[in-house]
Structure 1
């Protein structure tokens, strides 16, 4: 990609997100979302492959539909209340439509159908952008309208997302699809408390982003896209393999790793709001996600020395990739060990 084109795309993605996060007017937020969507389409279609074109088409149609719903809901609210302020979403129908549109934007269930296919047709770097940076703007809007959202709707979306995320990733061998369903499950945990305690929901999604970022970058350095390719990482980079295992366990929410913190806070908050049955259901549904996290971790551990892997090595690290791995390992360790450091 030419440097000028890369600069313009990066500028568009950054400005789009910053416009949404600093907006007070619905039209300004809509403009930022559109700029963000248009800027990332060339990134998805960078690969000259039919799967990339298909992924970009699905992404565009879904995001355009969600943007149209946002525009319709904000216009309806302005017609009924006379206010375009984001925090003044007082019309009940507008609020329901807005939640539906933002749910489609971030890829939470039941509007999750596009996320696994788009991530499978994109590169690992693009999937990192889709699961982290592209979710900042819609999550910010959900945070800003959290006072007007109905807990019953967000709880239903959250529970359904946790179920779909766990069940969908159960049988996946493609790492990008597995991480897509992992993202859906973590969005479910965020949606359950977005109307009850927005700060905890924001903490959950931030911690997930800080854990998934080094995970995707380490996958990029090893060019691993399937479980079979991932099983060969012990041969050349044992340190990277150990970090990948810890990151997977942290995403699974096992104590004392950092990923356990937001889940504990969310369950505690639900119990405090007398939603014990909902908290118990979420804990049980999260066992589905735990299964494929542990399966991947077991696969990595079972190929460790002195055990020899039967899979052919599909990649070789280059010099700049070795340098990147050396930089990523301390960052990943810091993200994993935040909770134990705080408890010491």
Structure 2
């Protein structure tokens, strides 16, 4: 929650760094934007209330500094060979420039830092890390997106590791982390279709993540077994949370299925049948651990303790209901609009 001028300043510079990075016409300018973005987030991550945040912010700084220094080295090396900061669209350039950007965005197999850092952050910082911090690296990756064997390996590993990694987790933060890795694979695949496609996928994903984090943050939930105690008197909130989770998993009646549907149609038309079959099976595995949370929470009842709901939780109900309604009825509205126009 933004409650002082320092956080407002840091959030402004964080967004400014992201905008500098995606609007720059040179790779050096993009690097500068990524550094401003990184140095704005580190103070936001650290807090005296939780001893794990210092460890997470240090890990995050080391990993991102490694990726940034590697990117700067590669940019300078390429600019010495080619014309002023312009990287040609060939296989080698795509691989070497995309590698540090994939490390920054947390795609597999460069995901090793992501779960441990997420575990030590507050829910607000988790949202920033899963959504806002991915915008600049993904936009830069889309500039050099060439569908070669390297990118297909990244896509398949992200989808497989994101699905399998979340199966044995009890922490909701880690479940959402591995879900984010899985969605990274789908977003990279969406870049084949075009820039508008992956941006639409990212916006739908961000809306669903925001809805889930608003609910779990207001109820102070961090683990699956705590969902048993979640507002048994206010079952509407629990229902909204789990319909949003199912939408995030890509269940057809919900809007989370829409971008996956478009990607599946495109890949089937282009005869990429094996890859899309594997992606759909892995998405079903992610849906399994969402259903496990839903099933356990709805079937097991217990009393609700007084500390479970914060005093401001009633204020978020209208916002959560609006976002969840968009999740539940978005696919129907999109289909109707397509049929009419």
Structure 1: runs of 5 or more not aligned = none
Q: 1:281 to 1:270 in 2, by over 3 A?
A: same
Aligned residue in 2 for 1:242: 239
Following TM superposition, by how much is the alpha carbon of 1:47 offset from its aligned partner in structure 2, in angstroms?
A: 4.1
Aligned residue in 2 for 1:334: 326
Where in structure 2 are the equivalents of 1:11-26 lying within 5 Å? 11-26=12-27
Determine the C-alpha separation between the residues in 1 that align with 2:237 and 2:42: 31
Where in structure 2 are the equivalents of 1:1-344 lying within 5 Å? 3-85=4-86, 88-90=87-89, 92-146=91-145, 149-195=146-192, 197-303=194-300, 308-309=301-302, 313=305, 315-344=307-336
Determine the C-alpha separation between the residues in 1 that align with 2:191 and 2:64: 22
SS in 1 for 2:307: coil
What TM-score does the superposition give when structure 1 sets the normalisation length? 0.91
Following TM superposition, by how much is the alpha carbon of 1:103 offset from its aligned partner in structure 2, in angstroms?
A: 0.9
Following TM superposition, by how much is the alpha carbon of 1:245 offset from its aligned partner in structure 2, in angstroms?
A: 0.9
SS in 2 for 1:337: helix
Structure 2: runs of 5 or more not aligned = 337-341
Cα deviation code 1:154-193 (max 9, x no counterpart):
2211111111111111011111111000100000111234
Task: Give the count of matched residue pairs.
Answer: 335
Determine the C-alpha separation between the residues in 1 that align with 2:234 and 2:44: 29
What TM-score does the superposition give when structure 2 sets the normalisation length? 0.92
Determine the C-alpha separation between the residues in 2 that align with 1:27 and 1:333: 42
Would you say the 8 A contact 1:233–1:241 is kept in 2?
Answer: yes
Would you say the 8 A contact 2:249–2:286 is kept in 1?
Answer: yes
Q: 1:203 to 1:153 in 2, by over 3 A?
A: farther
Would you say the 8 A contact 1:162–1:282 is kept in 2?
Answer: yes
Determine the C-alpha separation between the residues in 1 that align with 2:329 and 2:249: 14
Q: Which deviates further from its counterpart, 230-239 or 255-264? A: 230-239
Q: 1:302 to 1:24 in 2, by over 3 A?
A: same
Would you say the 8 A contact 2:218–2:312 is kept in 1?
Answer: no
RMSD: 1.9
SS in 2 for 1:255: coil
